[in-house]
Amino acid sequence: QVPGGAARRDVAVVSLSLAGFTLDGAMPVVGRAVVVHEGGSARVGCGVITPSTAEVVLMGAYPGYSGSLKVGGVLALQDSAAGLSISGTLTGLEGNVTGGWHIHSGSSCDSSTGVFGHYFTPGTPDAWIPVKYTSDLKGVAVVSETMAGYSLYTSDMLPVFGRTVVVHELDSKNKAGCGVIGGAFGVRQATVTTAAYPGYTGSDNVKAFGVLTQTPDNQGLGIGLTITGLPPNSTGGWHI
């Protein structure tokens, strides 16, 4: 078994490197399945690792935040024909609420002075005001948004690479979470989103969203994974 990170309600956060595995070289994992187990036995989640050109945001606490929330999660951003596509999972939120999340114009979560305000063209409507998450009873929100006029890198389409993502508490101005978009030039990566394991008939609704990156020397594999819907305070396996 590969141990998960610290539990946050029904959420497990995984971060590790696996020596000897690669995305598409020796011991390749692209195209293979990620399986999540319940309590080390029943297989409850399954998803296929697919190549991705997305840039990644690993969410953490907003600098100086002193509230009770412990915001985490992983977001993936990539260009689409309709604009910038943003998807992923936010965790550690208040349960069963709606709140704001936005891309800001700053480039650092080390200090609140580096986050700045909402990122949009001055003199135009703020496109981020209506963007909201809706959490479940356990404080988990799956987000999926396409922002027209934005891109990862294109200069005349409001490029977002290197800028900050901010998550707010329940419909308030209190900022609880922060992450920086990208930051790993030239690192190949893939994403995985799991659904129910085929034939699973249990009551848990386990889902996972993860990002896999190739180390610069091509000798290892970095994995960031957020698993939701798990039994509280439990330990179980997850494997490729």
Q: Is the pLDDT of residue 185 over 90?
A: no
Q: Which residues, including other chains, have CB under 8 Å from residue 101's CB and lie 6 or more apart?
A: 90, 131, 132, 133, 143, 165, 166, 167, 168, 177
| Cα Rg, the chain, nearest whole Å | 18
Q: Predicted confidence band at 214 (pLDDT cuts at 50, 70, 90)?
A: confident
Can you tell me whether residue 171 is helix, strand or coil? coil
pTM confidence score = 0.74
Give the model confidence (pLDDT) of 43-95 as tens digits.
Answer: 999 999 988 888 989 899 999 999 999 999 999 999 999 999 999 999 999 99
Predicted local distance difference test score (pLDDT) of residue 183? 52
Q: How many helices and strands (H and E) does the chain possess?
A: 0, 19
Q: Predicted confidence band at 218 (pLDDT cuts at 50, 70, 90)?
A: low
Residue 142 vs residues 60, 145, 207: alpha-carbon distances, Å: 16, 10, 10
Give the model confidence (pLDDT) of 116-146 as tens digits.
Answer: 999 999 999 999 999 999 999 999 999 999 9
Is the CB of residue 49 less than 8 Å from the CB of residue 194? Answer: no
Q: Which residues, including other chains, have CB under 8 Å from residue 118's CB and lie 6 or more apart?
A: 102, 103, 104, 105, 126, 128, 129
Q: Is the pLDDT of residue 3 over 70?
A: no
Predicted local distance difference test score (pLDDT) of residue 220? 83
Mean pLDDT across 142-156: 93
Predicted local distance difference test score (pLDDT) of residue 151? 96
Is the CB of residue 165 less than 8 Å from the CB of residue 55? Answer: no
Predicted local distance difference test score (pLDDT) of residue 187? 40
Mean pLDDT across 203-213: 90
Region of 177 please: left (phi>0), alpha (psi -120 to 50) or beta.
beta
Q: Is the pLDDT of residue 189 over 50?
A: yes
Predicted local distance difference test score (pLDDT) of residue 186? 40
Predicted local distance difference test score (pLDDT) of residue 1? 42
For all residues of the chain together, what is the average pLDDT? Answer: 88
Q: Is the pLDDT of residue 240 over 70?
A: yes
Predicted local distance difference test score (pLDDT) of residue 2? 45
Give the model confidence (pLDDT) of 7-43 as tens digits.
Answer: 455 788 888 888 999 888 889 999 999 999 988 689 9
Predicted local distance difference test score (pLDDT) of residue 87? 96
Predicted local distance difference test score (pLDDT) of residue 184? 38
Q: Predicted confidence band at 238 (pLDDT cuts at 50, 70, 90)?
A: very high
